[in-house]
């Protein structure tokens, strides 16, 4: 799981706890005022009886929290948008290496491959990619998430407005030479919090090989498009908790949200329940078996509980993280 997603979830809980504390303080102040001696209340209210209703000063409307500038993401996005065929061009390698047999001759009917065969070929391609020394990799990542409920009801829109400024789209390009590269955004600015990385450190699942077992698949399919073959894997639904934080299938295919790794200043996460309704991994390879496109779509729903001093409560969120990788080779 990339750092950005962890940071957003941690920020949600931190802002939520702060606002919950503010709401509790406001409630206690209202209770204090309400329990003042009745004589004092009579004195305060006496002048009001001499003012006719029509001449009473108008009451200013109470300010309301701004509506969240976050789209309704729902539970899942069921389809991943693929890149146009024009962005996937056939290999242009003109070296003296022996020519590779065209995919159309080698695999006349990839749609007839079994689930096991599809998984094996996709796994081999991804793991080969994670060890490639020289290539250019571009990742278009989208994080969309919103809080749907929390203990401090009035804080939901404020938190979602805060999230909208932290989430969104992020484009990063890596030019790997001898297996190492530094990422740059669209403006050419270096991604400093990553530093120099290897393909294995950034391509999902990060810091690990792709080892999804066959029993973790809900479905698998393969399709041929000219010189390219696309393998699509959909994972089975699964859940995790703070007591059992590792979802077996997602952890071996794309990663997962490690709630126990997050740190919130002054707060402690006391519970976490995550629901992964169906992650999708799509791999497109060329006639040489090299990955030209890798897409991961990770939908999730979660509920967390935390405490900060005397405060405690819960918050629920839903959303997704999508990574769209494209690769070119020298």
- The per-residue pLDDT for 64 is 45
pLDDT of amino acid 268:
77
Strands 291-308 and 280-285: antiparallel
Could you tell me if 302 and 319 are in contact, meaning their C-beta atoms sit under 8 angstroms apart?
no
pLDDT tens across the length of the chain (330 residues)? 455 565 666 555 555 555 544 444 333 444 444 444 444 443 344 444 444 444 444 444 444 444 334 334 333 333 333 443 434 544 444 333 333 444 444 455 898 999 999 999 999 999 999 999 999 999 999 988 888 887 777 778 877 887 777 677 899 999 999 999 999 999 999 998 889 999 999 999 999 999 999 999 999 999 999 999 999 999 999 999 888 889 999 999 998 877 666 656 667 778 888 999 999 999 999 999 999 999 999 999 988 888 877 777 788 889 999 999 999 998
Report d(CA 308, CA 267) in Å as an integer: 4
- Spatial contact of 22 and 28, defined as CB atoms under 8 Å apart: no
Q: What is the pLDDT of residue 14?
A: 56
Q: What pLDDT is stored for residue 5 in this prediction?
A: 60
**Burial class (CB within 10 angstroms; exposed 0-12, middle 13-18, buried 19+) of 253:** buried
pLDDT of the residue at 65: 43
Alpha carbons 126 and 108: distance in angstroms, whole number:
23
Per-residue pLDDT at 7: 60
Kindly give the pairing relationship between strand 228-235 and strand 217-225: antiparallel
Sequence spans of domains, the chain: 3-36+71-328
Q: According to the model, what pLDDT value does residue 81 have? A: 39
Q: Give the model's pLDDT for residue 30.
A: 43
How confident is the model at residue 39, as a pLDDT?
Answer: 40
Whole-angstrom distance, CA of residue 100 vs CA of residue 293: 20
């Amino acid at each position: 799981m990339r750092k950005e997603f962890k940071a957003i979830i941690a920020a949600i809980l931190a802002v939520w706890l702060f606002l919950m504390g503010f709401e509790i303080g406001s409630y206690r102040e209202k209770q204090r005022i309400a329990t003042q001696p009745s004589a004092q209340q009579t004195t305060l209210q006496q002048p009001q009886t001499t003012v006719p209703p029509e001449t009473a000063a108008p009451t200013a409307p109470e300010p309301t929290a701004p509506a969240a500038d976050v789209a309704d993401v729902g539970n899942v996005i069921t389809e991943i948008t693929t890149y146009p065929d024009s962005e996937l061009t056939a290999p242009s390698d003109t070296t003296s290496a022996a020519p590779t047999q065209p995919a159309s001759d080698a695999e006349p009917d990839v749609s007839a491959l079994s689930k096991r065969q599809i998984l094996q070929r996709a796994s081999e391609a991804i793991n080969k990619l994670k060890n490639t020394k020289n290539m250019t990799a571009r990742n278009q990542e989208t994080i969309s998430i919103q809080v749907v409920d929390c203990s401090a009801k009035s804080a939901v829109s404020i938190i979602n407005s805060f999230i909208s400024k932290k989430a969104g789209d992020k484009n990063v390009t890596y030019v790997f030479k001898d297996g190492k590269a530094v990422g740059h955004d669209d403006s050419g600015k270096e991604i400093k919090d990553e530093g120099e990385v290897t393909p294995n450190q950034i391509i999902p699942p990060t810091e690990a090989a792709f080892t999804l077992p066959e029993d973790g698949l809900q479905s698998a399919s393969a399709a041929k498009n000219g010189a390219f073959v696309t393998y699509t894997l959909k994972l089975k639904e699964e859940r995790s908790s703070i007591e059992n934080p590792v979802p077996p299938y997602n952890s071996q295919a794309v990663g997962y949200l490690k709630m126990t790794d997050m740190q919130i200043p002054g707060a402690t996460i006391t519970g976490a329940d995550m629901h992964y309704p169906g992650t999708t991994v799509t791999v497109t390879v060329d006639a040489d078996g090299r990955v030209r496109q890798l897409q991961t779509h990770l939908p999730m729903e979660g509920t967390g509980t935390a405490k900060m001093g005397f405060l405690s409560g819960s918050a629920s969120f839903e959303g997704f993280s999508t990574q769209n990788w494209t690769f070119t080779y020298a």
